[in-house]
Amino acid sequence: MDRTIRTEPLTAEAFARFGDVLEAAGAPDRTINEGLCGRFHDRARLDFGTGRAGISVFDAVPRHLPYDLTLVERHPGGSQAFLPMTAHPFLVIVAADEGGRPGRPRAFLSSGAQGINLHRGIWHGVLTPLAAPGLFAVVDRIGEGLNLEEYRYDAPWRVVRDGPA
Amino acid sequence: MDRTIRTEPLTAEAFARFGDVLEAAGAPDRTINEGLCGRFHDRARLDFGTGRAGISVFDAVPRHLPYDLTLVERHPGGSQAFLPMTAHPFLVIVAADEGGRPGRPRAFLSSGAQGINLHRGIWHGVLTPLAAPGLFAVVDRIGEGLNLEEYRYDAPWRVVRDGPA
């Protein structure tokens, strides 16, 4: 089996089965502040189950491509949004569920002006910034109960940057 | 009356009566992802009253200092977090309430690695980035009912950058 994963551009359409892309794309839903601010309104499907929303800050060590992936995880109890606090593109790895286990991963590369909201229960790689500082605001579930399931693939996947070799 | 407002550094302590500073300061509450990510956990006092949390994206025209301020607003129905999607410092203007009206404004300048969460009902200026793109993820109340109160000062305040003239 080919274990090479090529990065794809992060678009709302391609990402829809996994989550929401949070960006100022197209026309704003509203213009506020005397015309000086566009509001792209309520763009994330948030779901915190029996918990509540919280905002945390993540400070992650930057990775680089090619990137070897073995481990993915999911949060059965709630959605999780990653909002970069820099304009650096970051890597988003997700996988569809196949009977309780993650299938072949997909890897998306953000534009540098996008956040994401992973829907509840979606398999994903850990946070992988590609530049320092790897600083993100994270909106996820705060509450009791185990909210983490991990899966280790039998062999690593190699994520490479798409484009001319 | 002196109508000049000098910017102050945005620190958690100075800002505490208005809201939360969201930053990776000090030791993380947890280290996750096999030691590669610090989690500064649940740092915002969120309150959406009768509504729910939503994530929107704001794209605001950059302003510059000195900045003349006349209008402030508040949201009686919920807290509002501004999470910059760039590493540019931005201007945060707030005012304590004095019997139903805003008092003398204060102006904070972020470090470039900080978001804020305005507590429910705090008087504040509109979003004022100081560089392009003025891109922010905003976590605020989604729900029915009027959630905006505005106040126009009799005369403008002039916000100037603190430091040597």
pLDDT one-digit tens code per residue, A92-117: 999 999 999 999 999 999 999 999 99
Residue B16, phi-psi category: left (phi > 0), alpha (psi -120 to 50), beta (remainder)? alpha
Kindly state whether residue A19 falls inside one of the protein's structural domains: yes
Chain A hits for B55, Cβ within 8 Å = 22, 42-44, 46, 81, 83, 115, 117, 139
Q: A-B interface: how many C-beta pairs under 8 angstroms?
A: 150
* pLDDT tens, N- to C-terminus, chain B (165 residues): 799 999 999 999 999 999 999 999 999 999 999 999 999 999 999 999 999 999 999 999 999 999 999 999 999 999 999 999 999 999 999 999 999 999 999 999 999 999 999 999 999 999 999 999 999 999 999 999 999 999 999 999 999 999 765
Structure tokens at B37: 């990510």
Kindly state whether residue A116 falls inside one of the protein's structural domains: yes
CB contact under 8 A, A40 and B59: yes
CA B102 → CA A16, A41, A98, B14, B81, distances in Å? 43, 27, 56, 18, 20
Average pLDDT, chain A: 97
CB contact under 8 A, B139 and A40: no
Smallest CA–CA separation between A66 and chain B, in Å?
Answer: 18
Smallest CA–CA separation between B165 and chain A, in Å?
Answer: 29
Kindly state whether residue A119 falls inside one of the protein's structural domains: yes
* pLDDT on residue B127: 98
CA distance B94 to A34: 19
CA distance A18 to A16: 5
CB contact under 8 A, A37 and B117: no
CATH number at B47 reads: 2.60.120.480
> What single DSSP character describes residue B118?
E
Kindly state whether residue A165 falls inside one of the protein's structural domains: no
Contact B110, B84 (CB under 8 A): yes
* pLDDT on residue A1: 79
Chain A hits for B142, Cβ within 8 Å = 42
Kindly state whether residue B165 falls inside one of the protein's structural domains: no
* pLDDT on residue A116: 98
The angle formed by the CA atoms of residues A161, A162 and A163, to the nearest 5 degrees, is 115
CB contact under 8 A, B57 and A127: no
Kindly state whether residue A42 falls inside one of the protein's structural domains: yes
Q: Which domain holds residue B70?
A: 4-160
Q: Which residue of A has its CA nearest to B38?
A: A59
Could you check whether the bond before residue A164 is cis, i.e. omega within 30 degrees of 0? no
Q: What is the residue whose two structure tokens read 């909106």?
A: A139
* pLDDT on residue A115: 98
CA distance B91 to A61: 28
* pLDDT on residue B8: 98
Total domains, chain B: 1
CA A1 → CA A5, A104, A163, B59, B154, distances in Å? 11, 11, 21, 44, 71
CB contact under 8 A, B126 and A22: no
Instruction: Give the closest of A57, A60, A87 to B43, CB-based.
Output: A57
Instruction: Give the closest of B32, B54, B83 to A42, CB-based.
Output: B54
Contact B8, B107 (CB under 8 A): yes
Kindly state whether residue B85 falls inside one of the protein's structural domains: yes
CB contact under 8 A, B126 and A41: no
Q: Which residue of A has its CA nearest to B45?
A: A54
The residue of B83, B110, B140 whose CB has the most chain A CBs within 10 angstroms, and thus the best one to mutate to test that interface, is B83
* pLDDT on residue A164: 63
Instruction: Give the closest of A33, A41, A113 to B133, CB-based.
Output: A113
Nearest Cα to Cα of residue A69 among A162, A152, A157, A3: A157
The residue of A39, A59, A69 whose CB has the most chain B CBs within 10 angstroms, and thus the best one to mutate to test that interface, is A59
* pLDDT on residue B163: 75
* pLDDT on residue B129: 98
Smallest CA–CA separation between A153 and chain B, in Å?
Answer: 16
Kindly state whether residue A64 falls inside one of the protein's structural domains: yes
> What single DSSP character describes residue A15?
H
Sites in chain A below the pLDDT cut of 70: 164-165
Nearest Cα to Cα of residue B97 among B71, B74, B126: B74
Smallest CA–CA separation between B86 and chain A, in Å?
Answer: 4
